[in-house]
A and B are shown apart, each in its own frame.
Chain A
Amino acid sequence: MHAVWVIAKRELNSFFDSLVAYILLVLFLGFSGFFTWLYGADVFLSGQASLQSFFSTAYWSLFFFTPALTMRLLAEENKTGTIELLLTKAVTDRQVVLGKFLAAVLLVAIALAFTLPYAFTISAIGPLDWGATLCGYLGLLLMSAAYIGIGLYASSITSNQVVAFLITLFIGLFFHVLFDALAANFTGLAGLVFSTLSMSEHFDSLSRGVVDTRDLIYFLSLIVAGLLLAEFTLTKRNLD
């Protein structure tokens, strides 16, 4: 566990040292702030004391935000060869993957924490449903974690960051929109399967304040699948 934290700490520092963290924080806050408060179906238009407009904006901005965070994590180590030095230290492959995962999740959590003033502002103008709001934040965090898992896997199979970014977006697109679109076009079992796989299906119900174990299982299984695949890619070097 200690090793996981040591790796996470280094990655987090490296996000801030390389300005990636600042750029993404500014972009994320600017983008979601603009659409939450100033433009389109914003808070004032909906006339309700809720953060729904923020959640639906962040649903998309985090989708693009996370691959940019994860693309570097393993691809760069593969490219420069530092992965060899890292894996010959007293750490397991799993600890390396978990440490990097934790760093990216923490950065997303920091970004989300900066939007908490939105919630306090709205609760000052009207009766905000805090339960639903916290669930919405949980949903955003779990969704990002799922994409970080996928991103780590994409980053582990290549030494090119751009390729890692695009693979993550490609896989993510299926969960983010395509399965939902397919679900609308199919009935019966196929429709059920596609709607179960769709991210928006699970995110929407969570952001409305409904905590369903099925949703949690969905997010957790995506996370675990991504991390196990990434770990497997690292371990593959040992196989003949």
Chain B
Amino acid sequence: MDIRIENLTKRFGPQKAVDNISFDVKTGEIVGFLGPNGAGKSTTMKMITGYLGIGEGDIFIGDKSVRQHGDELKRHIGYLPENNPLYTDMPVIDYLIFSAELQGLDKAKIPGRVREMIEVTGLKAEKHKKIGELSKGYRQRVGLAQAMIHDPEILILDEPTTGLDPNQIVEIRKLIRELGQHKTVILSTHILPEVEATCDRILIINKGKIVANGTAESLRSQSSGSAVMRVVIEGGPAELVKSTIGTLPGIRQVVITDAQSGKLEVTAEPGTVLGRSLFYMCVEKGWVLTEAVPVETRLEDIFRNLTLN
């Protein structure tokens, strides 16, 4: 099922938590929701799941409006809320059965489905413990298990990997990737490498507005707007090398980082084939190009650029 969000706005008093945002998520796509605290990520997710009423605009899930068919659409959505609130006085297995029953699962299918979820999330040894006795990571697994128990077409996960140890994070990411192949997944996170590892597309939201929407690569090229390369050229004085590079086409800036060993940082117009022209220049002058590393703009920098001003 596709999700289509149109001009969504939500006010809390005078403050706009979500300000006129629109985007689509297709089936089989995993979208990562990034943004600083209070940017409106959770509010948007709560509106998709039908917990919060829609202010203005509308959300369509498989062509049905959440405004009109909210209650009916709930059974197609699996939701893991922020902070993962669970009934701490219930044993894990009872809670999963309860969730399955509430989602209207066929009575005959429930035991098999519960067993499968316990298997997938690695809760086998803990299944008879009360949720209150579990550590944070295990509770998070229970939260994921209850979200997926009815095999929903849409998964909304608010910070799914908080509290998990590195091994579990890898497992859960793998699980989300697998699920994402035939489901529609929206997940929010603060962990930037996580979005790169799991998501097909990134949405960065700041102060209720979408400030970036695209794959990690497209965001990089948009945000930096230039190609940067770190090079080491031996055989000539650094100053001369610098001025020679400056004469090449498309060069914006050359900075000497270490004159002794001939380290330079070259910034060029996007789309310039920098490596090739540097190589021919060195051949012509009789210099030696010992190192040429393209510098990728880190996602952290993009995030900071987009959300700090």
- Tell me the A78-128 residues at the B interface (CB within 8 Å): 80-82, 84-92
Of B79, B88, B94, B101, which one neighbours A85 at CB under 8 angstroms? B79
Given contacts A84-B81, A88-B79, A89-B103, contact A238 B86 (CB under 8 A): no
Q: Does B89 contact A (CB under 8 A)?
A: yes
Distance of A50 Cα from B84 Cα, bound (Å): 54
Q: Does B77 contact A (CB under 8 A)?
A: yes
A14 touches B89 (CB 8 A): yes
B102 touches A91 (CB 8 A): yes
Stretch at the interface among B45-53, B163-171, B274-282: B45-53
| Chain B, interface residues (CB within 8 Å), range | 20 to 34
Taking CB as reference atom, which chain A residue is nearest B71?
A: A92
- Tell me the B119-171 residues at the A interface (CB within 8 Å): 146
Of A13, A14, A237, which one neighbours B51 at CB under 8 angstroms? A237
B104 touches A239 (CB 8 A): no
Given contacts A6-B102, A91-B102, contact A17 B74 (CB under 8 A): no
| Chain A, interface residues (CB within 8 Å), range | 20 to 34
Of B11, B55, B77, B88, which one neighbours A88 at CB under 8 angstroms? B77
Interface residues of A (CB under 8 A from B): 2-3, 6-7, 10, 13-14, 17-18, 80-82, 84-92, 237-240
Note all chain A residues with C-beta closer than 8 A to B98: 6, 10
Of A7, A13, A91, A238, which one neighbours B52 at CB under 8 angstroms? A238
Note all chain A residues with C-beta closer than 8 A to B90: 10, 14
Distance of A2 Cα from B110 Cα, bound (Å): 15
Q: Which of A84, A85, A91, A237 has the most CB of B within 10 A?
A: A85
A82 touches B85 (CB 8 A): yes
Note all chain A residues with C-beta closer than 8 A to B51: 84, 87-88, 237
Taking CB as reference atom, which chain A residue is nearest B50?
A: A88
B85 touches A80 (CB 8 A): yes
Note all chain B residues with C-beta closer than 8 A to A88: 49-51, 74, 77, 79, 81
Note all chain B residues with C-beta closer than 8 A to A81: 81, 83, 85
- Report the minimum CB–CB distance from A91 to chain B (whole Å): 6
Taking CB as reference atom, which chain B residue is nearest A93?
A: B71
Taking CB as reference atom, which chain A residue is nearest B49?
A: A88
Please name 8 further chain A to chain B contacts, defined as beta carbons within 8 Å, in addition to the given A81-B85, A87-B50, sorted by A numbering.
A14-B87, A17-B89, A82-B87, A87-B51, A89-B103, A237-B52, A240-B53, A240-B55
Q: Does B207 contact A (CB under 8 A)?
A: no
Distance of A7 Cα from B77 Cα, bound (Å): 19
Distance of A239 Cα from B104 Cα, bound (Å): 27
B81 touches A85 (CB 8 A): yes
B102 touches A7 (CB 8 A): yes
Note all chain B residues with C-beta closer than 8 A to A87: 50-51
Note all chain A residues with C-beta closer than 8 A to B101: 2, 6
Distance of A17 Cα from B99 Cα, bound (Å): 18
Q: Which of A81, A86, A88, A91 has the most CB of B within 10 A?
A: A88
Q: Which of B77, B90, B94, B102 has the most CB of A within 10 A?
A: B102
Note all chain A residues with C-beta closer than 8 A to B94: 13
Taking CB as reference atom, which chain A residue is nearest B88?
A: A80
Distance of A82 Cα from B131 Cα, bound (Å): 13
B85 touches A90 (CB 8 A): no
Q: List 19 A-B contacts (CB under 8 A).
A: A3-B102, A10-B90, A18-B89, A80-B85, A81-B81, A84-B46, A85-B79, A85-B85, A87-B50, A87-B51, A89-B74, A89-B99, A90-B71, A90-B74, A92-B71, A237-B52, A238-B52, A240-B11, A240-B55
